[in-house]
Amino acid sequence: MQALKKHYWISEQIKMVESRDRKTALVFGATGLTGRALTGLLLDDQRYARVVVFTRRPLRQNHPKLETIVHDLKEPESIAGKRHGNDVFCCLGTTM
């Protein structure tokens, strides 16, 4: 049990160091015109290690830094615990 606690503590410390060096961006509305453009810019930006997009439908884009979370905005609890990042971008349009 002690070894497990130590492993957990070390992994949390590593996550803290990584998050200081390179950030995680959260993007809502990545399938629209503005959201697609922003997502592309964030994926090219070396300051971001991860780009997490929350969409109603899957993206056709693949990238090692990209994580897509398909969800229904009417059920915000479906993304509980997945909303951890350094910067949040909202590109939700009028089709909501």
pTM, two decimal places = 0.70
Q: How many CB atoms lie under 10 A from the CB of residue 49?
A: 15
Query: Length of the chain in residues, anyone?
Result: 96
Over pLDDT 70: what percentage of the chain? 70
Q: Work out the burial of residue 79: count CB atoms within 10 Å of its CB; fewer than 13 is exposed, 13-18 middle, 19 or more buried.
A: middle
Q: Read off the tokens for 59.
A: 């993206």
Per residue in 63-96, pLDDT tens?
999 999 888 777 777 676 666 889 999 998 866 5
Per residue in 43-69, pLDDT tens?
999 999 999 998 888 888 889 999 998
Q: Read off the tokens for 81.
A: 């615990």
